A and B are shown apart, each in its own frame.
Chain A
Amino acid sequence: MYPLLANENLKIYSRVRTWVLAALVLVAIGLTGWVLAAHPSPVSANWKASLQTTDASLKKEIAEDGAHMPRDVLEQLKSQIAVNQYYIAHNLEPGRETGWAFARTAENIVSVSTVFILVIAGDIVASEFAGGTIKMLLTQPVSRTRILFAKYGAALLFGLFLLAFTLAISLLIGGVLFGFHGANAPVIYVNDHATLERIPSFLYLLVQYGFDLVTMVMTVTIAFMISTIFRSSAIAITISVLVVFVGNTLVAALSRYHFVKYILFTNMNLSQYMQNGPIVKGMTLEFSVFMLVAYFVVLNFLSWLFFVKRDVAV
């Protein structure tokens, strides 16, 4: 298997296009960093003192009324105090940019990376048909199934590469511009039960990228399936990008309809179960995982069917 994967990697990474896409990701992150660095929030000299004051009053409130407060309000206040204490102890001014905070902001660039992953995965089979090289590729002593498998593996590896690249460049640029500290600075977010959660920055970032990884695998799978249908690279890429974007937009627009929960795109972003709550009411993590696995199996089966059973007449 390895030689076939090496071949597919050779074909992806010896094209200038691949590196142009990676460079564009770098430019996008660099620009974001530059804009944020050029407009820093105003420095206040005595932010520690004012945090201390806030905490003191919060503690007083808890001491006086704590017994009568609803549980989650109490939790929220306690969480707020703990966060403030962390800021003071680590000499981190709230709202001041850090390398890790920047990497969290730059995580939005992953949507750009996704488009580029669509380009590569949508092209990987179609380009062989478009260039006529499929005739050479499929007259070697290797079964079509193994060739398809190598291509799918190479597309996934590229997705992994681009996500890792986005993360690494975000941290690097963030670190250079704003300092490498703040890995443990707490991030506060509203969880799917509408209560506040607090986790360290680095963990939050890793979890986000973990969700992005799941989305990436499904994105590659769709684009790959589309790639096995069309004989033109341009058409395969365009359709892949359209399907993913129209799909995501439609799902957001139609989320009040029950059937939407059976659409792939509704389930593709698992971060909804960590933050903000599910797109369609009543969806559970288990349901989404089940849907993803089902789509994964069906889409890959279709890719295989189109690729292995087809007459090559290029």
Chain B
Amino acid sequence: MSITTADQEQQTPVSTSPIAVQIRHLTKVMGRKTIVDQLSLDIPRGEVFGFLGPNGAGKTTTIRMMVGLTSPTKGEVLIAGIDVSTHFAEAMLHVGAIVENPEMYKYLTGYQNLRHFARMSPGVTNERIDQVVRLVGLEQRIQEKVRTYSLGMRQRLGLAQALLRKPDVLILDEPTNGLDPAGIRELRDHLRTLAREEGLAVVVSSHLLSEMELMCDRVAIIQAGKLVDVRALGDRAGVDEQSETSPWTVFEVNDVPAAVRVLVAHFPDCKAKPGGAADGFVEATLARSDIPQAVAHLTAEHVAIFGIRSVTRSLEETFLELTGGGPIVSSPRQ
């Protein structure tokens, strides 16, 4: 997926609003199960946004409602300000999507598949088809039947399909599924270029947490259909100041139980507990400005401090913490 920026001359979007996708109180009830529960989110242009959650959290169901495959029980999805439920065709003019696996017509060639979808969107020329084929690096195999494609090649063809009509919003459900490491890297770079330079809003869901960290600007953590947290992954440095959860501070001390007692007594919200790799460590969530005070209290209570350091949690740890350590598959599904 080599990138030629000139390939993607994004037309200036019709809507001037910087918000590409607005999700409002989105709810899906099937039978007696609430699969998506009062989800509200704004996704601006120029951002790679991730949906993260354990199996069955409702990520795919949310995406299905965003692209009109499933109708919401309650709430609405606006794409470029257009309601997907009431103005489906107009809204989809701004969307390119792959939902779960990129299923194409196996008895047609890759090129015939693209022609097929090109006919369904206004203004997609043959030159545009050639452009996206080059963009996803399928030139060599595009005239072959999709039956002969590997999963990764189908994923590339699916992406080509999603980009055909120069969408404002690109929605990819588990896009790295089936890609080789080089392919994942290409995709990642490509999505970021699309977001940065073409101003697309890119929405991805993935099981690979580490990958989400590398790919996304922000992630929404979803559990049991509920939005648990939205976290910015500021320049991939892990947790940043705006985040709702503070970083951990680790103290190396001589008396762990005493240290825990002292910290909890003075900072009731600090979740102090024995921690770290070896004995003799205490960890607590403290605001940066509280650390000197904490040191003073510990010293006053005769706890000897040998070292202090700040630890940022990986998204995975935070994720497990937020979702109560529920099961999560951290390798691609077959």
User: Which of the residues B71, B89, B99 comes within 8 Å of A135, measured between beta carbons?
Assistant: B99
A6 at the interface (CB under 8 A from B): yes
Knowing A132-B103, A139-B99 are in contact, say whether A4-B119 is a contact too (CB < 8 A): yes
- The verdict on B148 contacting chain A, using a C-beta distance below 8 Å, is no
Contact with B along A33-56 (1 / 0, CB 8 A): 000000000000000000000000
Q: Which residues of A contact B165 (CB under 8 A)?
A: 141
Q: Please count how many residues in chain B sit with their CB below 8 Å of the partner chain's CB atoms.
A: 33
A193 CB to nearest B CB, Å: 52
**Is there an interface contact between A141 and B90, defined as CB atoms closer than 8 Å?**
yes
Query: Which residue of A is nearest B92, CB measured?
Result: A141
B267 within 8 A of A: no
Q: Give residues 96-142 of B contacting A (CB, 8 Å).
A: 97, 99-108, 112, 116-117, 119-122
Number of A positions contacting B (CB below 8 A): 24
CB-CB contacts below 8 Å: A137-157 with B:
138-144
Any A CB within 8 A of the CB of B93 = yes
Residues of A within 8 A of B116 (CB): 7, 10-11
Chain B residues within 8 Å of A311, by CB: 64, 69-71
A67 interface contact, C-beta 8 A: no
Residues of B near A253 (CB, < 8 A) are: none
**Which of chain A's residues have a CB closer than 8 A to the CB of B99?**
135, 139
Cβ of B285 < 8 Å from any Cβ of A? no
Bound form: Cα–Cα A106–B92 in Å: 50
On whether the beta carbons of A131 and B103 are closer than 8 Å, the reply is yes
Q: Which residues of A contact B108 (CB under 8 A)?
A: 10-11, 14
Cβ–Cβ contact A136 & B117, under 8 A: yes
Q: What distance in Å separates the Cβ of A7 from its nearest Cβ neighbour in chain B?
A: 5
Which chain B positions have C-beta within 8 A of A313? 64, 69-70
Residues of B within 8 A of A71 (CB): none
Return chain B residues, CB-CB under 8 Å to A140.
92, 117, 120-121
How far, in Å, is A78 (CB) from chain B's closest CB?
60
Choose from A6, A11, A138, A142 the contact partner of B105 (Cβ within 8 Å): A11
**Contact, CB under 8 Å: A135 / B103:** yes
A313 to B100, CA, bound (A): 10
Chain A residues near B (Cβ < 8 Å):
3-4, 6-7, 10-11, 14-16, 131-133, 135-136, 138-144, 311-313
The 6 closest A-B pairs by CB, nearest first: A132-B103, A3-B119, A140-B120, A141-B92, A312-B69, A311-B70
